[in-house]
Amino acid sequence: MTVATSFWWESKNKGTLKETKLSTLKKNYIEVQTFYSGISTGTEALVGSQSVSQSLEKNMACNYMEGSFSLPIKYGYCLSGKVKSGEFEGRNVFLMHPHQDKVHAHPNEVTFLPKELPLKRAILIPNLETAINAVWDGNIQVGYKVAIVGGGTIGLLIANLIKDIPGVEVEIIEKNENKRTLISELQWNLSVSDGAQLKKESFDLSFHTSGNPQGLQTAIDLIGYESKVIELSWYGERESTLRLGESFHYNRKTIQCSQVSFVSSSVHSKFNYKRRMNLVLMLLKNPSLEKLITNEVSFKSLPEFMENLSKANNNQFLTRVRYPSCID
């Protein structure tokens, strides 16, 4: 029997590494040695702080999860690694799975990666999926002025997808000075500011990705007549207070939720899962996207990092977890 090590939220904001016994490798299954896993900072902080509403627990359950949201729980985002046994030995794969150093999975549950896509970049797959769906939801037209409130990984992936549409102007609103510096260092020709000098109702569309309810208010205030906000933030049990007594009703503004579980109806019949994933893999061959991974922690130090997740500063983009087996 194979013994794996996985990350668990043992109690509120307290994480640990625990041994997990993997059953004997089933027929046609593969064993994956993890090289990297990705952290979804907002979601995992809410899980670790027991801030998942009971009504959403079924929707929030992830593949290979163990335990419950009342804690302890084995919960996580995604990982990439190499197949160690079975028919596909030696292939690089991506899998939605909690943080764990070895995994048994059916080949239908993994995504086989092209050689041009390194494992260390593959953990951006879910983020890019989310960004693509948000762009579809936004239905951006030539010449649009677009505001992105929140200069994190998702916001910047959206910006990267739309910045070269003819005539489109993109403004990223980010309060954190260090993040504004990082955005400038990307050299993607993106306009970024703290938003203080921007004129209200001067944008045709806004995306909200900051995770802060105040950011949603900014996204509402920046759009004009019959324009919409694409909301990508998730708040758990936190309340969001908005001021809708100004121009929200008069100018027929719309707030539309976007997340990757449900694909925009405008493309649903055209892009099945396989076609969407092929698009993601093709776009991720762009090495410049790896600049959005600005922090790396070792698997051994993951509990300490996760315990400070809810208190972590907002000075980075995506954090990657590196495993001892990594030779990528």
The arithmetic mean of pLDDT across residues 14-32, rounded, is 89
- Termini Cα distance of the chain: 27
When pLDDT is cut at 50, 70 and 90, the band that residue 109 belongs to is very high
The arithmetic mean of pLDDT across residues 164-178, rounded, is 96
The arithmetic mean of pLDDT across residues 240-253, rounded, is 90
Q: Where are the alpha helices (DSSP H) in the chain?
A: 41-48, 57-60, 119-122, 125-138, 153-162, 177-185, 213-222, 273-283, 302-307
- What's the whole-model pTM score? 0.94
Which amino acid is residue 219, in one-letter code? A
The DSSP call for residue 247 is T
When pLDDT is cut at 50, 70 and 90, the band that residue 18 belongs to is very high
In this predicted structure, what is the pLDDT of residue 313? 55
- Residue 77: which of 38, 45, 111 has the closest Cα? 38
Higher model confidence: residue 54 or residue 184?
A: 184
Tell me the sheet residues that pair with 81: 34, 93
In this predicted structure, what is the pLDDT of residue 181? 94
In this predicted structure, what is the pLDDT of residue 87? 82
Opening angle at CA 294, ends 230 and 318, nearest 5? 40
Phi first, then psi: give them for residue 263, nearest 5 degrees. Answer: -80, 145
When pLDDT is cut at 50, 70 and 90, the band that residue 113 belongs to is very high
The arithmetic mean of pLDDT across residues 228-236, rounded, is 90
Tell me the sheet residues that pair with 207: 148, 230
Q: Does 285 have pLDDT greater than 60?
A: yes
In this predicted structure, what is the pLDDT of residue 310? 65
Strand, coil or helix: 122: helix
The arithmetic mean of pLDDT across residues 86-110, rounded, is 94
CATH architecture, domain 127-257: 3-Layer(aba) Sandwich (3.40)
When pLDDT is cut at 50, 70 and 90, the band that residue 25 belongs to is confident
Phi first, then psi: give them for residue 215, nearest 5 degrees. Answer: -65, -35
The arithmetic mean of pLDDT across residues 314-320, rounded, is 86
Q: Does 280 have pLDDT greater than 60?
A: yes
Which amino acid is residue 183, in one-letter code? I
- Kindly indicate whether the domain formed by 2-124+290-322 is annotated with CATH number 3.40.50.720: no
Higher model confidence: residue 308 or residue 253?
A: 253
Where are the chain's structural domains? Answer: 2-124+290-322, 127-257
The arithmetic mean of pLDDT across residues 24-47, rounded, is 90
